[in-house]
Structure 1
Amino acid sequence: MTRSTHPKIQRFCERFGLQAPILLAPMAGLSPPALSIAVMQAGGMGACGALLMSPAAIADWATAVRTQHSGPFNMNLWIPDPAPVRDRAHEQRLRDFLGHWGPALGPDAGDATPPDFQAQCEAMLAVRPAVISSVMGLYPPDFVAALKAAGMTWFANVSTVTEALAAQAAGAEVIVAQGMEAGGHRGCFDAQQAESQLVGLFALLPAIVDAVTLPVVATGGIADARGIAAAIALGASAVQIGSGFMRCPEAQLPGAWAAAMAHAKPEDTVLTRAFSGRAGRSLITEYVRASQADNAPQPAPYPVQRSLTRAMREAAIQHNTLAGMQAWAGQASYLAQAKPAQQHLTELWADAQRLMP
């Protein structure tokens, strides 16, 4: 499926056993095995966002995929933040505010403990995916050495040229350049700069291609053949797509969320910390609007805010109510198609090749 006239694409696909240079984005909480299997059946790379998964769940996910397909997939973790500074009085104000959008919250609602990062890393090493990727920083050197010794490849997700250079120096083998158009959380190393260092993909991508010697994968705001062809023209060896696959039936997205994406203009999304405490791009829902009002309490730090909003988010999904749903969406979400993922990827790559010189 690849073209010999684009040697970077050919080398990338041959290296990872792909028929098309299209990677599924590893979306935490949105990585059902069926979606990766469908992407892999079309010759792309599957993905698992393992942030919220226990070691056993990581192993189970890999087993579920491998029983259906032997192709390559990527497993991804966030680099942990320092422990948050808690403000119990402020959390009480947040609980009162969130009670308008979901179930009443008790005083321990912000206390959820994230999965053990070291145990998750060990689980990924045991699974041995083709690719292990990072967001929100860089893996420690001992883990990088271990994954490489086991024959896996480290993809480092970055949002600036400075981060790309740091990842290359730390031993990353592929750079994933993520533009600010991306849905959900961007992989910014410094959470405090996520809203001030907003670089669009088509400015970021060629700058990173020029700055590093590694293959570069483009992601953020790519959801159709035009975006794929443009990214390749700007030097990408492959593209990674998240929102563009979210309306596929295998993604199992709640109906209200999928329907809203279909009609969302780029300006109908916004960066917000209101769900997790870290900046993420969401559809502008009623809860998001309310959280931005002058009289609304500021979000708690990550992951306290994520814990506080959990009951609201779960209730919204249960009742298929967009108002309180964590409806992550990139600026190109309106281009997502409600087609089977295997068919969609096959058509995307065929159409992109017709656009490429």
Structure 2
Amino acid sequence: MKKKIEISQAEIDHLKVKDRRMSDLIEYLGEINRYYTPDPFTSLAQSIVYQQLSGSAADSIWKKVNNILPKLTPEAVAAVPENKLKEAGLSERKVNYLNNLAEAVLENNVQLAKIEELSDEEIIEQLTAVKGIGRWTAEMFLIFSLVRRNVISYHDLGIRKGIQWFYGLKSEPTEKDFKKFERNFSPYNTAASFYIWEITAQNLDQVFKNAGELSTANKVAYYDSPIGLIELQASQGELLRLHFQEVKRYQEGEAAVLAAAKKQLDEYFEGERKKFKLPLRIEGTDFQESVWRQLREIPYGATFSYKEVAEAIGNNKAYRAVGNANNKNSIPVIIPCHRVTASSGKIGGYGAGIWRKKWLLEHEKKNKL
């Protein structure tokens, strides 16, 4: 029988204080539900059954194992014929692992009767001496059977992927990165693990670039365009960002500049507006800002090459840097970086997708006159 793991308010408060990003993650997710198996032998046996299997397949096999062994004890596992367990869907290797576990408990090499008295590392040392139980399985046992409060596993892919997203890392965290995270949220790393697991479980990594995007002080509005949902962000009467999103990420707010932007986007997509007139705030290097100003001078329905933009700003050899500045443009469409193409005649890149760039160019060509 599984029981719910209660996350205390003290744990939540500690995590929130340690890092604003974690505070935002907790606020975004709200209450999360995790459960534990109080009987340690059942928990360990289940972890062996579930190794390297999909959830549905493992659930089916586990149900059959419980039908064969309604009272799951070391004695019962040691006594059941191996072919019975294989009939339930267990591989010969997993049958051996279960027998190894039962033998270790019966011979008191794994001291389940005194397990609560042992430290985390003492438990891991005992369990990993049993063939079929690795460190990850032992760490999951600490969480999902004993409910130890300061456990996080570097060996867990979901944890590594979650930390990568949390910090906005380009690749999975090194052990040094992991230790930084672990130290920061100690002594409540188990609760931190639960929230980190929810990142991939709820596909937050597909919606937000990192934890820093989970909340915003900016005013936000959404616009359903012919080429996808547009998220607009503004602050202090100026438009800051225009990005294409799959879903609405934030609660919408009211601001005059957002209303004006949506009206002008309506006119643009209807083929009536040729130039946007909005207060913009976009910050970059002097070179980037010079490129962005020049982009706004490219006529509707026309295209410039990266080289032509470089020449227009008086830096003939900087066409590659022009391309990089294009990629850093946080207000596309309104600052029309889609009008910049390669000198060869190829369409060139576009951060929001080449198909959108093609659509915008064809739309302007059709409505140019």
Name the TM-score, length of structure 2 as normaliser: 0.26
Q: From the two aligned structures, give the one with the greater strand fraction.
A: 1
Q: Which is bigger in relative contact order (C-alpha 8 A, separation at least 6)?
A: 1
Name the TM-score, length of structure 1 as normaliser: 0.27
> Higher Cα Rg: structure 1 or 2?
2
Q: From the two aligned structures, give the one with the greater helix fraction.
A: 2
